[in-house]
A and B are shown apart, each in its own frame.
Chain A
């Protein structure tokens, strides 16, 4: 139920709807798309990446001297959880040994274990929470794949490059777009149920920045369907794939030749550190939404704290495009309980339109995400045309009732069961009323730099999915992340398992962690922050202070949560939730 004070604005949206419907049916763009100059202008003025303090220079490590997202710089300029000296004995006698260690149990991690198995290599998946507790599970709208006859992989290539402002690594975009149709088929053979037309052809829709309808989907549960299918397949091979849950990796291990040789895990249950020796390692830890960059609410899952970046960086891996953050244009703003909740871009792909408080269109509904987000922020800030909520947020309407008017009654209910259910819980029928939205922290555009074989600059270290950097440039298009973890997760498993067949490892070492600590000290970095963060804390401020009064040199349960989030929580304009 929308509160009384929003009713007038809702009526204005209803009043403009017939004309907007006619426009949508005309086949012409409902609002003029921006040209290059307009795009640059709205980004520079309104995208959160360009606000003051959004970036700061990192003082140590492989990217030393570069401007990175401030919150990323902070977790990279932080102490390790592990005291290397005290681990010596454990390094000589690892708790687990495996050919391939896969850090992260989301889509990319599961794929890597499956293709490694197909290549005859056994693997171990270690994950922070449960397998499948990952952003993969939460993707709603679709995956890009140039399967339609009027489309082509090279068109997909051009769209992805344009969306990324032509900074993406071309060889990565090529394999992303070229592997896509094969991924559709392989997922189908694993049991994924695609939305299809009556004749069996793939149903395709538009997403932001696509020049052809290219979004394949599973209603609005694509992530849940793919994730549960991959998990089920992994669990069908307990003899070849070992899964360790609630045991996140916190540092990588190297050998004296500088080859990656496994990782140190931290058991969330027992607070002990465990050693894994592995011939090859894949980082598939996902993104960083739970860092609440710039104080934004996030669409990300609970464990998305950028752990892979931290581990890899301390081990000497190079990061790419870590100065850019993706804000999804349409996160929920109302009701407050689901602030940040992802409203799939498929809503706009199916004809939903963003409107200001007067019910007017103010931007082409399918601009690339950074542009669309910046335009919504402009509408709510400079122009003051957003709808305010009593929790202090502001948003614009996302006019969903249009969808049934365009496609016929029942379409929304069948294509968006997740959205319908979520809003019904709060008494809002999205087939009758629009949703209130504002950009929400969504995706880590950059990450650990890889090539098309998922290799990094550290031998034996592979990265796939959101943790990697290069494929999306500084802005990812809708549906290319679902594709990314499938394409590169699958590739990581293939290439890492091949490498594992021949590599000879030396002795395990944490010397790089000691060296990093010395570098921090030399650079004069003073911080009480320990990283990876592992989990964010949502305890109230006074409770947190009482928790942090605890003495002791061992990271006690929850002391891993000593974070700077204490200071400003709940005090920022955008708030935190979800």
Chain B
């Protein structure tokens, strides 16, 4: 299978390329205020690691720890800055003087619906989340979003019934709920997002004909004989077939 192997990496050593070695910078400490309590933590820590550095076991306020789950939404202020900032505790670094509070849950009501009984129209959105029409276009939701999404734009798209646009703009939403918390019109933006994404996937998608064909083939037992044959094969024969298989470019 293999013909020409690339030159082994050892050959490189002769060229005497000396790469510089890393330098360990001193770990500086900074002062933060975690729910009002002063703590001194390493400068390079994320908010989550800083909280844990103080010895606290997080129960509410940590989930995937990689920026996907939205469990660790956090509000903070910085010295000399009147604004409220937001971030996910798992990926936001502490700063000296930061004063922070985690918001692990935001009170809200999720609409109950049967996806099979509703239509991908503005009326559906209006029925389940009428509050979106209270939007005052203040853009606070967009400024709040720790993912940097154009939240107000998708709320406006929802008001127009442009479900594809809501799907596209809300795709990366982690449902931390901070937008809903800060919204003066008391909209639950992220819930509108998931409703529209599901409506898009269910009703506005382009159909995949090749998928229909494959599902029918399987249902009609087209692959049964081949499965039976391979399942009866010994490891050696399977291995031979495996290493000889062609690979799509």
Chain B CB within 8 A of A235 CB: yes
A130 close to B218 (CB less than 8 A): no
Q: Which residue on B lies nearest to A342, using beta carbons?
A: B66
Q: Which residue on B lies nearest to A299, using beta carbons?
A: B66
Chain B CB within 8 A of A54 CB: no
Would you give the 0/1 interface string for A179-221, flagging 1 where the beta carbon is closer than 8 Å to chain B?
0011011001111111010011110001000011100000101
Q: Which of A77-85, A131-139, A476-484, A511-519 contacts B (4 or more CB under 8 A)?
A: A131-139
B20 close to A8 (CB less than 8 A): yes
Q: A132-B69, A185-B211, A357-B19 are in contact. Are A158 and B57 (CB under 8 A)?
A: no
A527 → chain B, closest Cβ, in Å? 21
Would you give the 0/1 interface string for A237-264, flagging 1 where the beta carbon is closer than 8 Å to chain B?
0100000001000000000000000000
Assembled-state Cα–Cα distance A356/B7 (Å): 13
**Residue from A5, A221, A417 within 8 A of B20 (CB atoms):** A5
A285 → chain B, closest Cβ, in Å? 15
Assembled-state Cα–Cα distance A148/B209 (Å): 10
B55 — which chain A residues lie within 8 A by C-beta? Answer: 539-540, 543-544, 546-547
Q: Which residue on A lies nearest to B232, using beta carbons?
A: A170
A158 close to B242 (CB less than 8 A): yes
A-B pairs with beta carbons under 8 A, tally: 273
Assembled-state Cα–Cα distance A558/B93 (Å): 26
B1 close to A33 (CB less than 8 A): yes
Q: A185-B215, A233-B115 are in contact. Are A219 and B147 (CB under 8 A)?
A: no
Chain B CB within 8 A of A421 CB: yes
**Residue from B53, B112, B194, B210 within 8 A of A228 (CB atoms):** B194
Interface centre among B21, B64, B207 (most CB of A within 10 A): B64
Assembled-state Cα–Cα distance A171/B231 (Å): 8
Give residues of chain A (1-44) contacting chain B, Cβ–Cβ below 8 Å: 3-5, 8-9, 12, 27-29, 31-36
A246 — which chain B residues lie within 8 A by C-beta? Answer: 59-60
**Residue from A189, A206, A342, A422 within 8 A of B202 (CB atoms):** A189
Chain A CB within 8 A of B35 CB: no
Would you give the 0/1 interface string for A341-369, flagging 1 where the beta carbon is closer than 8 Å to chain B?
11000000000000011101110000000
B245 — which chain A residues lie within 8 A by C-beta? Answer: 155, 158-159, 211
**Residue from B2, B69, B167, B172 within 8 A of A35 (CB atoms):** B2
B71 close to A181 (CB less than 8 A): no
Question: On chain A, which size bracket covers the interface?
Answer: 35 or more
A538 — which chain B residues lie within 8 A by C-beta? Answer: 49, 52
**Residue from B49, B64, B167 within 8 A of A133 (CB atoms):** B64
Would you give the 0/1 interface string for B211-249, flagging 1 where the beta carbon is closer than 8 Å to chain A?
101110010000100110011000100110111011111
Chain A CB within 8 A of B63 CB: yes
A240 → chain B, closest Cβ, in Å? 12
A390 close to B23 (CB less than 8 A): yes
Chain A CB within 8 A of B201 CB: yes
A302 close to B211 (CB less than 8 A): no
Interface centre among B59, B209, B226, B249 (most CB of A within 10 A): B59
A9 — which chain B residues lie within 8 A by C-beta? Answer: 19
A178 close to B218 (CB less than 8 A): yes
Question: On chain B, which size bracket covers the interface?
Answer: 35 or more
Assembled-state Cα–Cα distance A221/B173 (Å): 10
Interface centre among B63, B175, B235, B243 (most CB of A within 10 A): B63
Chain A CB within 8 A of B160 CB: no
Interface centre among B55, B195, B205, B211 (most CB of A within 10 A): B211
Assembled-state Cα–Cα distance A390/B226 (Å): 54
Chain A CB within 8 A of B79 CB: no
**Residue from A34, A361, A388 within 8 A of B22 (CB atoms):** A388
Q: Which residue on A lies nearest to B203, using beta carbons?
A: A191
Give residues of chain A (377-391) contacting chain B, Cβ–Cβ below 8 Å: 379, 383, 385, 387-391
Q: Which residue on B lies nearest to A246, using beta carbons?
A: B59
Chain B CB within 8 A of A232 CB: yes
Chain B CB within 8 A of A338 CB: yes
A155 — which chain B residues lie within 8 A by C-beta? Answer: 245
B201 close to A229 (CB less than 8 A): yes
Q: Which residue on B lies nearest to A132, using beta carbons?
A: B69
A279 → chain B, closest Cβ, in Å? 27
Chain B CB within 8 A of A462 CB: no
Q: Which residue on B lies nearest to A167, using beta carbons?
A: B235
Q: A132-B69, A190-B202 are in contact. Are A166 and B235 (CB under 8 A)?
A: yes
Assembled-state Cα–Cα distance A133/B59 (Å): 12
Q: A5-B23, A422-B91 are in contact. Are A191 and B197 (CB under 8 A)?
A: yes
A444 → chain B, closest Cβ, in Å? 17
Q: A170-B231, A224-B68 are in contact. Are A200 and B10 (CB under 8 A)?
A: no
Would you give the 0/1 interface string for A533-546, flagging 1 where the beta carbon is closer than 8 Å to chain B?
00101111001101
Q: Which residue on A lies nearest to B239, using beta carbons?
A: A166
B30 → chain A, closest Cβ, in Å? 14
Would you give the 0/1 interface string for B65-98, flagging 1 where the beta carbon is closer than 8 Å to chain A?
1111101000000000000000000010100000
Q: A191-B200, A211-B248, A383-B9 are in contact. Are A201 and B218 (CB under 8 A)?
A: no
B208 close to A158 (CB less than 8 A): no
**Residue from B22, B58, B115 within 8 A of A191 (CB atoms):** B115
A148 close to B210 (CB less than 8 A): yes
A383 — which chain B residues lie within 8 A by C-beta? Answer: 9-10
Chain B CB within 8 A of A498 CB: no
Q: A32-B4, A360-B6 are in contact. Are A225 and B71 (CB under 8 A)?
A: no
B115 close to A8 (CB less than 8 A): no
B171 close to A221 (CB less than 8 A): yes
Q: A32-B2, A539-B52 are in contact. Are A184 and B249 (CB under 8 A)?
A: no
A138 close to B66 (CB less than 8 A): yes
B238 close to A158 (CB less than 8 A): yes
**Residue from B17, B62, B202 within 8 A of A358 (CB atoms):** B17
A272 — which chain B residues lie within 8 A by C-beta? Answer: none
B64 close to A360 (CB less than 8 A): no
Chain A CB within 8 A of B155 CB: no
Q: Which residue on B lies nearest to A302, using beta carbons?
A: B62
Chain A CB within 8 A of B25 CB: yes
Assembled-state Cα–Cα distance A56/B238 (Å): 31
Task: Show the binding face of A for B, using Cβ within 8 Å.
Answer: 3-5, 8-9, 12, 27-29, 31-36, 129-130, 132-133, 137-138, 146-150, 152-155, 157-159, 161-162, 166, 170-171, 174, 178, 181-182, 184-185, 188-194, 196, 199-202, 206, 211-213, 219, 221, 223-225, 228-229, 232-233, 235-236, 238, 246, 268-269, 299, 301-302, 336-338, 341-342, 356-358, 360-362, 379, 383, 385, 387-391, 417-418, 421-422, 425, 535, 537-540, 543-544, 546-547, 557-558, 561, 577-578
A-B contact pairs, 13 of them (CB 8 A): A149-B210, A154-B230, A157-B227, A158-B230, A159-B245, A178-B218, A232-B195, A236-B113, A269-B59, A302-B62, A337-B46, A362-B9, A546-B55
Task: Show the binding face of B for A, using Cβ within 8 Å.
Answer: 1-6, 9-10, 12, 17, 19-25, 44-46, 49, 52-60, 62-69, 71, 91, 93, 110, 112-115, 147-148, 167, 171-172, 174-175, 194-195, 197-202, 205-211, 213-215, 218, 223, 226-227, 230-231, 235, 238-239, 241-243, 245-249
User: Can you add 4 more A-B contacts, CB < 8 Å, to A193-B171, A232-B194?
Assistant: A33-B247, A190-B201, A200-B209, A337-B91
